[in-house]
Amino acid sequence: MGVIDRPFRGATDSQVRSLLAGGVQFDRGGVGGGDSGPAEETLGGAVRLPGGIAMPVQIERVLGFGRSFSFWPLLFGLACCAIEMMALGGSRFDMSRFGMEAMRASPRQADGMIVAGWCSVKMAPRVVRLYEQIPDPKWVLAMGSCAISGNIWDTYNIVQGVDSLIPVDVYVPGCPPRPEALWQGLEMIRERIKQSRHAYDGLRRIPARETLTAGEAAAPAKPAAQAGVGR
């Protein structure tokens, strides 16, 4: 079976949709477990110096501390939660007090992504593509019950929870959650930035299902997995 790394590295749109067809599995796979592949193949995870050695924790703490004060989310609102996200950007709940002033329109300048609203199967490949185009390190906040679990939209065209597409750091429930709830979610993301833990750290690569034909296997033929340092 081809091996699909999480998130879909280089998966084309049809692959994302075919994977969605059967519903996608990924288990948290405990910290440190799993065979994360050679350095350049790993997805984020331990910050590696050129020699492949994991960076000492102190430097990572300093970097995390530096990053934590300006988490710039991607300007990406789907549905009603986006209106509450705009209210958080407005003048009463002003999130620019916490350094999240600039909602960057292009993923290249964003530090992370707030998925605000239900994600339909038509939108799924685009959410995955936007997530992948955000430079590391990145964090994802799933805002609203629709992004977390599909909420009442138990229908044919809705992805039941964005965490079957992209690894999610913080879940903010509510329909729509009040701006204060989203603000607390962003504070929790700040904590994760300080500890520089990402949602994709502990993820082992998950085997794809057989529906993926060999030709379409996203990940190139893998060299024998070396014993890398899993985080």
Considering only residues 171-200, where is the footprint of another protein by CB under 8 A? Answer: 175-176, 178
Sole binder of another protein in the list 11, 141, 172, 193 (CB under 8 A): 11
Residues 116-155 contacting another protein, CB under 8 A:
117-118, 120-123, 125-130, 132-133, 135-137, 150, 152-155
CB of 67 to another protein, least distance (A): 11
Find, among 149, 132, 139, 155, the residue nearest to 9 by Cα. Answer: 132
Residues 211-230 contacting another protein, CB under 8 A:
none
User: Which residue's structure tokens are 């929870």?
Assistant: 161
- 8 A C-beta contact, residue 7 and residue 131: yes
Query: What span, in angstroms and rounded, lies between the C-alpha atoms of 30 and 131?
Result: 23
Residues 67-106 contacting another protein, CB under 8 A:
74-80, 82-84, 86-87, 89-92, 94, 105-106
Give residue 92's identity as a one-letter amino acid code. Answer: R
CB of 170 to another protein, least distance (A): 19
Residues 18-47 contacting another protein, CB under 8 A:
20-25, 27, 40-47
Q: In a 3-state reduction of DSSP, which class is residue 121?
A: coil
Q: How many CB atoms lie within 10 A of CB 83?
A: 13
Region near another protein per CB under 8 A, out of 11-19, 28-36, 186-194, 222-230: 11-19
| Cβ-based nearer residue to another protein, 69 or 211 | 211
Query: What span, in angstroms and rounded, lies between the C-alpha atoms of 214 and 130?
Result: 26
Helix count (H) and strand count (E) of the chain?
A: 6, 6
| Cβ-based nearer residue to another protein, 133 or 191 | 133
| Cβ-based nearer residue to another protein, 78 or 170 | 78
Q: How many CB atoms lie within 10 A of CB 223?
A: 9
| Cβ-based nearer residue to another protein, 22 or 30 | 22
Sole binder of another protein in the list 13, 188, 194, 217 (CB under 8 A): 13
| Cβ-based nearer residue to another protein, 18 or 188 | 18
Give residue 189's identity as a one-letter amino acid code. Answer: I
| Cβ-based nearer residue to another protein, 69 or 157 | 157
Residue 111 contacts by C-beta under 8 Å, 6 or more apart in sequence?
67, 70, 71, 72, 73, 134, 137, 138, 139
